[in-house]
Protein backbone atom coordinates (compact mmCIF):
# COMPACT_ATOMS: atom_id res chain seq x y z
CA UNK A 1 0.00 0.00 0.00
CA UNK A 2 1.21 3.45 -0.86
CA UNK A 3 1.97 5.16 2.47
CA UNK A 4 2.54 8.59 0.93
CA UNK A 5 -1.09 9.62 1.43
CA UNK A 6 -3.52 9.54 4.31
CA UNK A 7 -5.72 6.46 4.10
CA UNK A 8 -9.30 7.23 3.10
CA UNK A 9 -12.31 5.12 4.08
CA UNK A 10 -16.02 5.05 3.33
CA UNK A 11 -18.17 3.37 5.97
CA UNK A 12 -21.63 2.57 4.62
CA UNK A 13 -24.09 2.27 7.48
CA UNK A 14 -21.63 4.18 9.61
CA UNK A 15 -24.02 6.18 11.78
CA UNK A 16 -24.78 3.43 14.29
CA UNK A 17 -23.90 -0.03 15.58
CA UNK A 18 -21.04 -1.89 13.94
CA UNK A 19 -20.54 0.83 11.34
CA UNK A 20 -20.09 3.55 13.94
CA UNK A 21 -17.69 1.43 16.01
CA UNK A 22 -15.70 0.76 12.83
CA UNK A 23 -15.62 4.44 11.92
CA UNK A 24 -14.29 5.34 15.37
CA UNK A 25 -11.70 2.57 15.33
CA UNK A 26 -10.31 3.48 11.92
CA UNK A 27 -10.38 7.21 12.67
CA UNK A 28 -8.28 6.55 15.78
CA UNK A 29 -5.72 4.94 13.46
CA UNK A 30 -5.49 8.13 11.40
CA UNK A 31 -7.85 7.10 8.60
CA UNK A 32 -9.94 9.86 7.00
CA UNK A 33 -13.56 8.72 7.29
CA UNK A 34 -16.68 9.38 5.27
CA UNK A 35 -19.63 8.28 7.39
CA UNK A 36 -22.34 7.29 4.90
CA UNK A 37 -25.79 6.26 6.03
CA UNK A 38 -29.42 6.18 4.98
CA UNK A 39 -29.87 8.53 7.93
CA UNK A 40 -28.02 11.52 6.53
CA UNK A 41 -28.55 13.68 9.60
CA UNK A 42 -27.22 10.92 11.82
CA UNK A 43 -24.18 10.56 9.58
CA UNK A 44 -23.51 14.29 9.87
CA UNK A 45 -23.65 14.11 13.67
CA UNK A 46 -21.24 11.17 13.70
CA UNK A 47 -18.76 12.83 11.33
CA UNK A 48 -18.77 15.90 13.56
CA UNK A 49 -18.03 13.67 16.55
CA UNK A 50 -15.02 12.23 14.74
CA UNK A 51 -13.69 15.75 14.23
CA UNK A 52 -12.14 17.91 11.56
CA UNK A 53 -11.31 16.23 8.27
CA UNK A 54 -14.03 13.63 8.42
CA UNK A 55 -17.09 13.79 6.18
CA UNK A 56 -20.70 12.64 6.05
CA UNK A 57 -22.99 11.55 3.23
CA UNK A 58 -26.50 10.25 2.80
CA UNK A 59 -26.72 7.00 0.83
CA UNK A 60 -29.34 4.39 0.00
CA UNK A 61 -27.67 1.11 -0.98
CA UNK A 62 -30.65 -0.03 -3.08
CA UNK A 63 -30.37 3.12 -5.22
CA UNK A 64 -27.40 2.71 -7.54
CA UNK A 65 -27.29 6.39 -8.46
CA UNK A 66 -27.01 7.25 -4.77
CA UNK A 67 -24.14 4.80 -4.23
CA UNK A 68 -22.34 5.94 -7.37
CA UNK A 69 -22.57 9.59 -6.27
CA UNK A 70 -21.16 8.69 -2.88
CA UNK A 71 -18.02 7.06 -4.24
CA UNK A 72 -17.57 9.51 -7.11
CA UNK A 73 -17.72 12.40 -4.62
CA UNK A 74 -15.15 10.85 -2.28
CA UNK A 75 -12.78 9.80 -5.08
CA UNK A 76 -9.85 7.38 -4.61
CA UNK A 77 -10.18 5.35 -1.43
CA UNK A 78 -8.22 2.73 0.48
CA UNK A 79 -11.01 1.19 2.55
CA UNK A 80 -14.70 0.53 2.01
CA UNK A 81 -16.85 -1.13 4.65
CA UNK A 82 -20.49 -1.99 4.03
CA UNK A 83 -22.59 -2.47 7.18
CA UNK A 84 -26.03 -1.83 5.66
CA UNK A 85 -28.63 -4.48 6.39
CA UNK A 86 -31.89 -5.43 8.04
CA UNK A 87 -34.03 -8.49 8.63
CA UNK A 88 -37.62 -9.53 9.17
CA UNK A 89 -39.26 -12.58 10.71
CA UNK A 90 -41.88 -14.83 9.18
CA UNK A 91 -42.36 -18.35 7.93
CA UNK A 92 -41.81 -18.94 4.22
CA UNK A 93 -45.42 -20.02 3.75
CA UNK A 94 -46.67 -16.80 5.36
CA UNK A 95 -44.21 -14.18 4.11
CA UNK A 96 -45.31 -11.76 1.39
CA UNK A 97 -42.91 -11.82 -1.55
CA UNK A 98 -42.42 -8.06 -1.21
CA UNK A 99 -41.04 -8.51 2.31
CA UNK A 100 -38.64 -11.21 1.13
CA UNK A 101 -37.46 -9.03 -1.74
CA UNK A 102 -36.93 -6.03 0.54
CA UNK A 103 -34.36 -7.91 2.63
CA UNK A 104 -32.62 -9.35 -0.43
CA UNK A 105 -32.53 -5.88 -1.98
CA UNK A 106 -30.67 -4.31 0.94
CA UNK A 107 -28.53 -7.21 2.14
CA UNK A 108 -27.49 -8.75 -1.19
CA UNK A 109 -28.30 -6.41 -4.08
CA UNK A 110 -27.13 -3.45 -1.99
CA UNK A 111 -23.89 -5.26 -1.19
CA UNK A 112 -23.35 -5.86 -4.90
CA UNK A 113 -23.95 -2.18 -5.71
CA UNK A 114 -21.51 -1.08 -3.00
CA UNK A 115 -18.90 -3.57 -4.23
CA UNK A 116 -19.38 -2.37 -7.82
CA UNK A 117 -18.79 1.30 -7.11
CA UNK A 118 -16.32 0.95 -4.23
CA UNK A 119 -14.35 -1.41 -6.44
CA UNK A 120 -13.98 1.29 -9.09
CA UNK A 121 -12.37 3.68 -6.61
CA UNK A 122 -10.25 1.41 -4.39
CA UNK A 123 -6.54 2.00 -4.86
CA UNK A 124 -4.02 -0.81 -5.18
CA UNK A 125 -3.56 -2.29 -1.73
CA UNK A 126 -7.09 -1.27 -0.78
CA UNK A 127 -9.64 -3.34 1.10
CA UNK A 128 -13.38 -3.91 0.84
CA UNK A 129 -15.11 -5.50 3.81
CA UNK A 130 -18.76 -6.55 3.81
CA UNK A 131 -20.59 -7.30 7.04
CA UNK A 132 -22.27 -10.68 6.63
CA UNK A 133 -23.80 -12.83 9.38
CA UNK A 134 -23.74 -16.15 11.17
CA UNK A 135 -26.99 -16.68 9.26
CA UNK A 136 -24.97 -16.98 6.08
CA UNK A 137 -24.02 -20.48 7.21
CA UNK A 138 -26.49 -21.28 10.01
CA UNK A 139 -30.21 -21.46 9.15
CA UNK A 140 -32.86 -19.94 11.38
CA UNK A 141 -36.57 -20.71 11.05
CA UNK A 142 -38.43 -17.52 10.24
CA UNK A 143 -35.41 -15.77 8.72
CA UNK A 144 -35.39 -17.15 5.18
CA UNK A 145 -34.72 -13.84 3.45
CA UNK A 146 -31.85 -12.79 5.70
CA UNK A 147 -30.24 -16.25 5.65
CA UNK A 148 -30.48 -16.45 1.87
CA UNK A 149 -29.10 -12.93 1.41
CA UNK A 150 -26.13 -13.48 3.69
CA UNK A 151 -25.32 -16.85 2.14
CA UNK A 152 -25.31 -15.11 -1.23
CA UNK A 153 -23.08 -12.38 0.18
CA UNK A 154 -20.47 -14.99 1.12
CA UNK A 155 -20.17 -16.09 -2.50
CA UNK A 156 -20.30 -12.50 -3.77
CA UNK A 157 -17.35 -11.75 -1.50
CA UNK A 158 -15.32 -14.59 -2.96
CA UNK A 159 -16.11 -13.65 -6.57
CA UNK A 160 -15.24 -10.00 -5.89
CA UNK A 161 -11.93 -11.11 -4.36
CA UNK A 162 -11.12 -13.05 -7.53
CA UNK A 163 -12.02 -10.16 -9.81
CA UNK A 164 -10.32 -7.38 -7.86
CA UNK A 165 -7.22 -9.25 -6.77
CA UNK A 166 -5.32 -8.46 -9.96
CA UNK A 167 -5.39 -4.78 -8.95
CA UNK A 168 -4.14 -5.59 -5.46
CA UNK A 169 -7.56 -4.98 -3.90
CA UNK A 170 -8.59 -7.40 -1.18
CA UNK A 171 -12.22 -8.32 -0.48
CA UNK A 172 -13.34 -10.05 2.71
CA UNK A 173 -16.40 -10.34 4.92
CA UNK A 174 -16.98 -10.58 8.64
CA UNK A 175 -19.89 -12.78 9.72
CA UNK A 176 -20.93 -11.82 13.26
CA UNK A 177 -23.19 -13.75 15.54
CA UNK A 178 -25.58 -11.91 17.84
CA UNK A 179 -24.30 -8.39 18.51
CA UNK A 180 -26.22 -5.76 20.47
CA UNK A 181 -26.96 -3.03 17.88
CA UNK A 182 -30.03 -1.06 16.78
CA UNK A 183 -30.56 -3.77 14.13
CA UNK A 184 -30.89 -6.52 16.73
CA UNK A 185 -32.77 -4.49 19.35
CA UNK A 186 -36.18 -5.83 18.33
CA UNK A 187 -35.02 -9.44 18.57
CA UNK A 188 -33.27 -8.77 21.87
CA UNK A 189 -36.51 -7.38 23.31
CA UNK A 190 -38.25 -10.75 22.87
CA UNK A 191 -37.94 -12.65 26.18
CA UNK A 192 -35.61 -15.61 25.94
CA UNK A 193 -33.86 -14.75 22.66
CA UNK A 194 -30.60 -13.39 24.07
CA UNK A 195 -30.46 -16.10 26.72
CA UNK A 196 -31.00 -18.78 24.08
CA UNK A 197 -28.22 -17.30 21.98
CA UNK A 198 -25.77 -17.14 24.89
CA UNK A 199 -26.59 -20.74 25.84
CA UNK A 200 -25.55 -21.74 22.32
CA UNK A 201 -22.33 -19.74 22.21
CA UNK A 202 -19.07 -21.39 23.26
CA UNK A 203 -17.68 -18.14 24.73
CA UNK A 204 -20.98 -17.51 26.56
CA UNK A 205 -21.72 -13.89 25.69
CA UNK A 206 -23.16 -11.80 22.85
CA UNK A 207 -20.78 -9.78 20.73
CA UNK A 208 -20.20 -6.05 20.86
CA UNK A 209 -19.83 -3.64 17.95
CA UNK A 210 -16.22 -3.15 19.01
CA UNK A 211 -15.53 -6.88 18.62
CA UNK A 212 -16.51 -6.59 14.97
CA UNK A 213 -14.81 -3.24 14.41
CA UNK A 214 -11.50 -4.66 15.62
CA UNK A 215 -11.76 -7.51 13.10
CA UNK A 216 -12.63 -5.12 10.29
CA UNK A 217 -9.67 -2.91 11.18
CA UNK A 218 -7.39 -5.94 10.99
CA UNK A 219 -8.75 -6.97 7.58
CA UNK A 220 -8.10 -3.43 6.31
CA UNK A 221 -4.57 -3.29 7.70
CA UNK A 222 -1.20 -4.20 6.14
CA UNK A 223 -1.10 -7.12 8.58
CA UNK A 224 -3.78 -8.80 6.44
CA UNK A 225 -2.10 -8.05 3.11
CA UNK A 226 -2.24 -11.71 2.00
CA UNK A 227 -5.80 -12.33 3.14
CA UNK A 228 -8.64 -12.13 0.63
CA UNK A 229 -11.82 -13.98 -0.24
CA UNK A 230 -12.35 -14.87 3.41
CA UNK A 231 -15.65 -14.90 5.32
CA UNK A 232 -14.55 -14.60 8.93
CA UNK A 233 -16.83 -16.30 11.45
CA UNK A 234 -16.83 -14.00 14.47
CA UNK A 235 -19.50 -15.29 16.81
CA UNK A 236 -17.96 -16.59 20.01
CA UNK A 237 -18.28 -20.15 18.72
CA UNK A 238 -22.02 -19.96 18.01
CA UNK A 239 -21.49 -21.72 14.67
CA UNK A 240 -20.47 -24.80 16.67
CA UNK A 241 -23.93 -25.17 18.22
CA UNK A 242 -27.45 -24.25 17.06
CA UNK A 243 -29.23 -21.02 16.27
CA UNK A 244 -31.77 -19.68 18.80
CA UNK A 245 -35.42 -20.65 18.28
CA UNK A 246 -36.47 -17.15 17.25
CA UNK A 247 -39.93 -18.18 16.03
CA UNK A 248 -40.59 -20.16 19.18
CA UNK A 249 -39.81 -17.18 21.39
CA UNK A 250 -41.89 -14.85 19.20
CA UNK A 251 -44.85 -17.24 19.24
CA UNK A 252 -44.72 -17.54 23.03
CA UNK A 253 -44.67 -13.76 23.32
CA UNK A 254 -47.68 -13.48 21.02
CA UNK A 255 -49.60 -16.08 23.06
CA UNK A 256 -49.03 -13.99 26.17
CA UNK A 257 -50.22 -10.77 24.52
Q: Is 218 a catalytic residue?
A: no
Catalytic residue among 146, 197, 218, 243: 146
Nearest to 88 by CA among 143, 152, 13, 148: 143
Q: What is the spatial distance between Cα 42 and Cα 53, in angstroms, rounded to a whole number? A: 17
The CA distances from residue 131 to 103, 172, 189, in Å, are 14, 9, 23
Q: What are phi and psi of 198, to 5 degrees?
A: -60, -40
Rounded to 10 deg, the angle between the 209-219 and 17-28 helix axes is: 50
The CA distances from residue 14 to 139, 185, 225, 235, in Å, are 27, 17, 24, 21
Q: What is the spatial distance between Cα 108 and Cα 146, in angstroms, rounded to a whole number? A: 9
Q: What is the spatial distance between Cα 95 and Cα 169, in angstroms, rounded to a whole number? A: 39
Residue numbers annotated as active site: 146
Amino acid sequence: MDSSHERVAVIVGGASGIGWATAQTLAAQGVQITVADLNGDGAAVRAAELGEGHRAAQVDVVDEDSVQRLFDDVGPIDIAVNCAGFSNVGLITDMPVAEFRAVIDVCLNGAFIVAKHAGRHLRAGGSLVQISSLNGRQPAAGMSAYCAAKAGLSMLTQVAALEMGARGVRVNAVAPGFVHTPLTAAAASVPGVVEDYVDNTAIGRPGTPQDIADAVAYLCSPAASWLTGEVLDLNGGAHLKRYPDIMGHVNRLMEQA
